[in-house]
Amino acid sequence: MTQRMDFWRHVYALSLKESRQIIRDKSAILVGVVLPLILLILFGYGISFDVKDIRLAVVSDQNSSQTTLYTQALVNNDSFDVTVVPTRKEALEALDRFDVEAVIVFEKRPVAHETQLLIDGIDAPRATMIANAVMFTVQTAGSAATEPSGITVIPRIWFNESAESHWYLVPGLIVIILTMIGTMLTGLVIAREWERGTMEALLATPISPWALLLSKIIPYFVLGAFGWALCMLAAVFVYHIPIRGGLGLITLSSAIYLLVSLCIGLVISGATRSQFLSSQIALLASFLPAVILSGFIFDLRSAPDWANVIAYAMPPVYFLELLKVGFLTGGMHALVVKNLLVLTAFAAVLVLLARHFCQKRVRV
């Protein structure tokens, strides 16, 4: 009983010391509180997958009601900035000068009902979205003008009815933010103790490795949780993202993932014992997997098998799937249980690794 009381007394004393260090070190507060808000606002408003302001040239040598209907449908669509040009040559010259992004040509062609669409393909993803937007607008206008066929296709997008890209982006941004602040907050603490010589003083005390580890995790967990809370407030009240899977799921998965990120930083810090090297590795270990290998930017289903193996060997992909369920879909209990268990396993392994690097010994 006395040993247990001593253990928690040591944890409290060291946590208090670490908290005072955080208060004195303004950079920790910047990383834990200010950086999440900057990233969420900057990337949330700066990145958008919505197709808007498409500069489109329309060419028609057919003076028919149908081509007029198509042209009017494109003009009335807010996604397009339409310029009507008299000849195909002028439209192609505008495309070569990058004055327009796409050209649609309504003219008599050898194949009936065939319309040519030319698109600037430098930005391949945007070119694909432009093609889809133009074809959907033209086909919708054409369907309205023809006799009913007995079948009416009414598209409905589930889980994101208005097709807002913010609803897709913000969960991914929360993954990036928690990964970066968790890893970067603790990526320097053990290395800092060694560089300042305070670790040798701790070695002479009866403090256990577990007490030392907990004292490094608890203050930064609280700081990271505060940054997470700010992200949640922005997601709900600024970006108006629904919470369909329950706040409890988002909170639990975020807490486990924040612990994972903090332990990754502690492992890096303890392994390098150099603040400069630790900061560089922490940045690479947090940003790259969270952005490239989480499924946030690139759909992993279209990635090669070896990339999927690497991605699913890292925690961000599981956390992102949980956030998508928590915010947008709800349900999917089998996926939720599996991903929570995987994240818990990551946390357990990383806690043991972090404890190993908190051993009270001097490296020779």
Instruction: For 188-255, give the DSSP string.
Output: THHHHHHHHTHHHHHHTS---HHHHHHHHHHHHHHHHHHHHHHHHHHHHHTS-----S-HHHHHHHHH
Domain count for the chain, please give it: 2
137/44 same-domain check: no
135/270 same-domain check: no
Number of H helices, E strands in the chain: 15, 4
252/276 same-domain check: yes
Q: State phi, psi for 57 to the nearest 5 degrees.
A: -100, 135
- Considering the domain boundaries, does residue 152 fall inside one? no
115/214 same-domain check: no
Q: What is the CATH number of the domain that holds 88?
A: 3.40.1710.10
- Considering the domain boundaries, does residue 159 fall inside one? no
Residues 6 or more apart whose CB falls under 8 angstroms from that of 167 comprise 160, 239, 241, 327, 328
- Considering the domain boundaries, does residue 38 fall inside one? yes
- Predicted confidence at residue 336, as pLDDT, reads 93
CA angle 322, 326, 328 (to 5 degrees): 110
d(CA 336, CA 339): 5
119/60 same-domain check: yes
* Residue that is last in its domain, among 145, 177, 211: 145
- Considering the domain boundaries, does residue 238 fall inside one? yes
62/29 same-domain check: no
Q: Provide the domain limits for residue 315.
A: 2-48+164-357
**Its pTM surpasses 0.85:** no
Cα maximum dimension of the chain: 94
Contact by Cβ (8 Å): 149, 199: no
Considering just the CA atoms, what is the radius of gyration of the chain in Å? 27
131/264 same-domain check: no
289/315 same-domain check: yes
Instruction: For 275-288, give the DSSP string.
Output: HHHHHHHHHHHHHH
d(CA 210, CA 357): 11
SS3 of the chain: helix, strand, coil, percent, to 5 = 65, 5, 25
- Predicted confidence at residue 151, as pLDDT, reads 44
Element (H, E) at 82: strand 80-85
107/192 same-domain check: no
Q: State phi, psi for 102 to the nearest 5 degrees.
A: -150, 155
* Residue that is last in its domain, among 118, 145, 172: 145
- Considering the domain boundaries, does residue 151 fall inside one? no
- Predicted confidence at residue 258, as pLDDT, reads 95
29/70 same-domain check: no
- Considering the domain boundaries, does residue 264 fall inside one? yes
Element (H, E) at 107: none
Residue-wise pLDDT for 203-252, tens only, equals: 677 778 888 888 888 998 998 999 899 989 989 998 889 998 899 999 99
- Considering the domain boundaries, does residue 325 fall inside one? yes
- Predicted confidence at residue 37, as pLDDT, reads 80
Residues 6 or more apart whose CB falls under 8 angstroms from that of 267 comprise 350, 353, 354, 357
- Residue 146 token pair: 């023809």
- Considering the domain boundaries, does residue 156 fall inside one? no
Residue-wise pLDDT for 14-33, tens only, equals: 788 878 877 777 777 777 77
131/197 same-domain check: no
Identify the segments of the chain with pLDDT beneath 50.
110-111, 149-153, 362, 364
- Predicted confidence at residue 150, as pLDDT, reads 45
42/60 same-domain check: no
d(CA 7, CA 1): 10
